[in-house]
Amino acid sequence: MPESFKEKRKRILAMIRRLRKAYPDLGCALTHANPLELLVAVILSAQCTDARVDKVTPALFKKYKTAADYAGADLQELQEVIRSTGFYQNKAKNIQGAARRILEQFGGEVPRTMEELLSLPGVGRKTANVVLGNAFDVPGMAVDTHMIRLNNRLDLTRQLDPVKIEAELTQLVPEKDWTDYSHLMITHGRSRCFARKPDCANCEILLLCPRRGVKEPLQPKTTVKPLIPR
């Protein structure tokens, strides 16, 4: 029998509670000190690990401190600093284009609305939601590959398109939890719910998960206490 909206929301709230206990040091994985640094870091994170981005950004942020610095930068020099993040030519072009628009349209400050952020080169809904949620405390549901995989595995969506997944999840997850929910799912995807061999035996939300698409038989390593959603 299909799970109702009310049942799904109840299950989600239980997962959020349990995952918050599992990952108490919740927050953005990308090191940044201000909205501009976060915007640049998220642009760099496309097709690149957060760990690699964090190795590049100290030198980058030391060299370029303001939108004006990026806007007036020598493009080849900027490319060299970010080369190891991959797709560095497009990323450098987008960073500089975004910086110039920030200067021209927003007085040198990173904008604070979805519509305005989406007007910046290289910024899609995921990037905008990360910036909104982590730089401005505006709830944002950032959907990346971990979010796509986990929410399908949890049978909370059957969509593969990030925009459609965002639309469904923002109905299911309370608005105040949007940013944290993204962090929790992404962290859980990296730490436990791997793509090929998820560590179901030690999963904190095992009894709330239908394990859709997981073919390996479950062989518990530890005793998992039943969790009744409340």
Residue 72 and residue 139: Cα distance in Å, rounded?
32
**Catalytic hit among 126, 164, 177, 197:** 126
Q: Is 126 considered catalytic here?
A: yes
CB 200 within 8 A of CB 36: no
Residue pair 87/51 in contact by the 8 Å Cβ criterion: no
Structure tokens at 202: 């030690």
Cβ–Cβ < 8 Å for 47, 86: yes
Rg for the chain, CA atoms, rounded: 19
Q: What one-character DSSP code corresponds to residue 208?
A: G
Question: What interhelical angle do 35-44 and 50-63 show, nearest 10?
Answer: 130
**Catalytic-labelled residue, pool 69, 144, 155, 177:** 144
Give catalytic status of residue 144 as yes or no: yes
CA distance 171 to 105: 32
Closest by CA position to 211, among listed 145, 147, 154, 148: 154
Residue with tokens 């299911």, as numbered in its chain: 172
- Would you please indicate which residues are annotated as catalytic (active-site) residues? 126, 144
